[in-house]
Structure 1
């Protein structure tokens, strides 16, 4: 099933690169409108965890048996991810960008959860390695992600409370 693993990872990689492009575009536009970035110091750690996660998957997943129900669950999470991105629209970024005086978004998935994107990402980081039987890696990256998200959510909540 190497071809299937490569196809899955290619889709995830292209998706992440497209999201970075969108995030950078939205970040520039928000900063031009007077927004400010918060939590810049932890951002490289967040990126490093995500790049390492994807690199480990590219290294170890091809050739592994695939748990298709977990792949389907991962794909369903992508629909939730798109819902988050669509709900935030031009305010969606991978950074913490606060537009002063802009109201908090309470539509879409934000009606149910304060940080739906982080919940989705936490699930993705666990589920995709498990779809390839890489349970130990799923645990390791879930722990690393939890650590960085703890820092990030504190910074974001603080910024939004004063934004």
Structure 2
């Protein structure tokens, strides 16, 4: 991997760690307000998936004989658009944004910002990122495998999240 690729991957990892910190803070607030966590059993698989995602990128690019050195600006533009969407989701949900399924009974489901157009915009953004990030650094196998694994996990998560949100309102 080239220097820009290392910086790029490290920056994304740092971003994810910052988001986990925000999520933890929001989780504490929501639970102090009576929030109830749902789907604890499948959450660990998201953590495992995302950790393995970065390990897979690093492994695949280190084993790859073809070293990618140029930036694909089209993919970079898609990545930046996904980041804008990610920030929009986090900003729209504010203190309610979390990586876990935590609901506050009696609170109305937010239907503004990107949630006005799509029920689960962040899941779409993550799927795009799981494809684009590895493609940007030349990890094509990772780019195919991890969006598929993400979709499999979403087949568990989305119904549980929908059920939790429906019961909470």
TM-score by length of 1: 0.95
Structure 2 counterpart of 1:4: 4
- Cα deviation code 1:70-127 (max 9, x no counterpart): 1221122101100000000000010000010000001100010000010100111011
Any unmatched runs of 5+ in structure 2?
A: none
Q: How far off is 1:131 after superposition?
A: 1.6
Counterpart for residue 130 of structure 2: 125
Deviations 1:25-65 (A, max 9, x none): 10011001001000000000011001111122233347534
TM-score (norm 2): 0.91
| Runs of 4 or more above 6 Å deviation | none
CA contact (8 A) 2:60 2:142 kept: no
Q: Tell me how many residue pairs correspond in the alignment.
A: 163
Residue 33 of structure 1 aligns with which residue? Answer: 33
1:146 matched residue in structure 2: 151
Taking only aligned residues, the RMSD between alpha carbons, in angstroms, comes to 1.4
Q: Structure 1: any 5+ residue segments left out of the alignment?
A: none
